[in-house]
Amino acid sequence: MSGRRPNFFSLNPGAAGKRSVGLWGGLLFLCGWLTISSAAQQPTTSATETPVAPTPQLGSWIWAEKTHEWQLCRFWRAIDLPPTNQVTNAVLWVTADNQFSLFLDGKELGGGVDWEGLYTLDVTAQLTPGRHVLAVRALNLNDRAGMTFGLRIEFADEQVMEVKSDSDWRLVTTEDDAWENLTEAREEWVSARVVGHSGVPPRWSEPLEILPLSAPSEAGSVAADPTSVPTFSLGDWIWAAQMSDQQVCPFWRAFEIPPNKTVARARLRLTADNEFILYLNGREIGRGSEWREIYLFDVAALLSPGRQVITVRAINSFSHAGMIFGMWIKFTDGEVMQFGSDTNWRIAPADAKGVEKFLTPAPGWATPVVVGRVGVPPRWTLPQNVNIMPKLEPLVIRFWQRPWFQISILVLLGGLTIFSVWLLAQLALQRKEQVLLERERARIAADIHDDIGSRLTQLVLHGEVVQSELDGDSPVRPQLERICEEARQVLATMDEVLWAVNPARDTLRDFTAFVCCYAEDYLKPTGIQCRLEVDPEMPAAPLDLPLRRNLLMAIKETINNTVKHSGATELSLQIHRAGQKLHLVVQDNGKGFDQTQVDRDRHGLTNLTRRMKELGGSCRVISQPGAGCRTEFVVPLQRSRGRFARWLARK
């Protein structure tokens, strides 16, 4: 058992030896008491009376002007009881953050180390008429500090006197040895400062436990009434029968929370010589490595009705070993359940895995032996400190943290990945097909051009040569001329076919050029003036063969309509690109028509509209009698999406 820190009371800056002795006496008494009570007490579920909520009797939390770690504050208050009025009942409540000792008329009544607990004592006997001095010595270890006090005195004439912690209390600032005995406050003593109101967070609204303040007695002596002393629910020091250095002792204990009960408060105290790891229901909730201190856990949020399993994996470095444990649970109906470390625990083998997950002990598990009682040397008589561990919250396992969900997600992701790969493969195949198709188209175009085209050209040339060498009056001449003309027509048509087939012409720019040329050539013999309004920088963006072909057909049809029906003198062809859309407009200045009267089919309008719909575009005809006719085509240019959509649609 190696120590690191001296006992806190001997560290008190102003604590003189004399006072320490007195205090030690009280503490020893308390420890002795604990020993007795723990020997007598077994883990029980005992109903206790619900005490009257003490908060109304308590005053504010008071402290000095400043707060710091390891700060000792001495509070002093005198009360004068009327000489004639008999005290029939007097009860006090007191606690301090973190520890305190209470004196009445210089005599120590006891102390506490758990600020969440409230200590109470009946002082009817002590309060005789005359002046009495209340003194509280409080120590703050860290963080917040404060002392709260309440005393209710009832007199024979039914008068009530209440003394609470407030700014009437004085802070002892002088180095008086027996300050708790002084019946008059010194002038230097300042008023205590109110640092918090009773029941207002961060301070508790209801004490964790109401504990009897241990009455002062001779060190080690047995108190008159065993049930009036706080035990902190602690059991005995227990360990395996065989003790050795570097020993691991996994303690195991299960208990049941009744199904219809709700836990209001639950405090778990333990320590082990030398170290421990604490598990509750399979979850590690804390560790400790100082055997002289108590570790206090608030486990209320972790307990629900049903079987609860506590595992303490204790490790002894060398020499003495031991583990001490106490569980105190208060249900909402006021019932209290408590148990400590005792022989009801089990010890799993040191190398056992997952002990904390066992709901029942395995058959071979050993029973611990009691190796020491609380407060009996060589172990501590009173813990040096109570470590209040951070409040524990139940682990909330969200649905996305559940295995089924994670597996589902993984499966889904896996499925998606496979689907994506498949899609990619399909797209690659599609792309390959596209490339092959383009190559094939290019080949066909080349074949037509090189073979049929050049031969026809030769034919025409030959015909022309023959014609030029004929006599001017030869009757064959006109016929030969007709043959040549016919062949020229075929070549012109072939040009158009080649343009459509040639993949190198799959661009917007080529399309535009082609359509413009077509319109000019077509309109030349008709006498209709052709006006072109084309975006100056028509990009070489791809334009699919079906789109190109259908658009060309549509425009041809529209221009043909104009020539046939409109009687126009001018035709304007407009091609503009707006974002991912291509706008084509054919407008004439002809006689127009009444849109409500006209037979749409006769004008090929139905056909046009259907054609545009197939391309995902639209077609609009605006005309009024005498105001010409305007035909608008809008088609989307996003080839890839269209292709993908088409491919998906095909599947």
* Residue number, 133 or 586, with CB nearest to another protein: 586
> Quick one: DSSP state of residue 524?
G
* Residue number, 256 or 464, with CB nearest to another protein: 464
* Residue number, 287 or 439, with CB nearest to another protein: 439
Distances 392 to 300, 316, 387, 527 between C-alpha atoms, Å: 8, 26, 14, 94
Bridge-partner residues for 529, per DSSP? 570
Q: For residue 103, give the nearest of 25, 167, 156 by alpha carbon.
A: 25
Distances 545 to 425, 441, 505 between C-alpha atoms, Å: 24, 11, 9
**What span, in angstroms and rounded, lies between the C-alpha atoms of 467 and 6?**
130
Half-sphere exposure of 400 (CA within 13 A, CB side): 1
CB 521 → another protein: shortest distance, Å? 9
CB 403 → another protein: shortest distance, Å? 57
Where does residue 459 rank: exposed (0-12), middle (13-18), buried (19+ CB within 10 A)? middle
> Quick one: DSSP state of residue 181?
G
* Residue number, 278 or 523, with CB nearest to another protein: 523
CB 417 → another protein: shortest distance, Å? 37
CB 596 → another protein: shortest distance, Å? 33
* Residue number, 264 or 491, with CB nearest to another protein: 491
* Residue number, 6 or 478, with CB nearest to another protein: 478
Longest Cα separation, the chain: 165
* Residue number, 307 or 462, with CB nearest to another protein: 462
* Residue number, 55 or 457, with CB nearest to another protein: 457
CB 627 → another protein: shortest distance, Å? 22
CB 486 → another protein: shortest distance, Å? 11
CB 507 → another protein: shortest distance, Å? 9
* Residue number, 334 or 478, with CB nearest to another protein: 478
CB 455 → another protein: shortest distance, Å? 9
CB 636 → another protein: shortest distance, Å? 24
CB 437 → another protein: shortest distance, Å? 13
* Residue number, 389 or 532, with CB nearest to another protein: 532
CB 574 → another protein: shortest distance, Å? 11
Residues near another protein, by CB under 8 A:
442, 445-446, 448-450, 453-454, 456-458, 460-462, 464-465, 467-469, 472, 484, 487-488, 491-492, 495, 498-499, 502-505, 510, 513-514, 516-517, 520, 529-534, 536-538
Give me the phi and psi of 624, to 5 degrees please.
-140, 150
CB 404 → another protein: shortest distance, Å? 56
Query: What's the one-letter identity of residue 561?
Result: N
* Residue number, 264 or 490, with CB nearest to another protein: 490
**What span, in angstroms and rounded, lies between the C-alpha atoms of 299 and 104?**
36
Q: What is the 3-state secondary structure (H, E, C) of 307-319?
A: EEEEEEEEEECCC
Query: What's the one-letter identity of residue 176?
Result: D
**What span, in angstroms and rounded, lies between the C-alpha atoms of 359 and 252?**
10
* Residue number, 162 or 496, with CB nearest to another protein: 496
**What span, in angstroms and rounded, lies between the C-alpha atoms of 17 and 322?**
31
CB 620 → another protein: shortest distance, Å? 24
* Residue number, 223 or 515, with CB nearest to another protein: 515
Q: For residue 46, give the nearest of 309, 207, 233 by alpha carbon.
A: 233
* Residue number, 197 or 462, with CB nearest to another protein: 462
| CB distance 135 to 179 below 8 Å | yes
| CB distance 103 to 136 below 8 Å | yes
Task: Kindly write down the DSSP assignment for every residue of 198-241, as one continuous string.
Answer: TT-TTS-SS-SEEEEPPPP-STTPPPS-GGGS--TT---EEE-S
CB 625 → another protein: shortest distance, Å? 27
**Any idea what the Cα angle at residue 468 is, between residues 464 and 470, rounded to 5°?**
115
User: Tokens standing for 636?
Assistant: 């989307």
CB 494 → another protein: shortest distance, Å? 8
| CB distance 589 to 528 below 8 Å | no
**What span, in angstroms and rounded, lies between the C-alpha atoms of 286 and 276?**
8
* Residue number, 142 or 493, with CB nearest to another protein: 493
Provide Rg for the chain, Cα atoms: 51
**What span, in angstroms and rounded, lies between the C-alpha atoms of 73 and 135?**
10
| CB distance 273 to 322 below 8 Å | yes
Query: What's the one-letter identity of residue 247?
Result: Q
CB 650 → another protein: shortest distance, Å? 27
Helix (H) or strand (E) holding 67: none
**Any idea what the Cα angle at residue 376 is, between residues 371 and 382, rounded to 5°?**
115
**What span, in angstroms and rounded, lies between the C-alpha atoms of 486 and 497?**
17
**What span, in angstroms and rounded, lies between the C-alpha atoms of 543 and 513?**
13
Q: Classify 72 as helix, strand or coil.
A: strand
**What span, in angstroms and rounded, lies between the C-alpha atoms of 195 and 197?**
7
* Residue number, 107 or 531, with CB nearest to another protein: 531
**What span, in angstroms and rounded, lies between the C-alpha atoms of 618 and 599?**
19
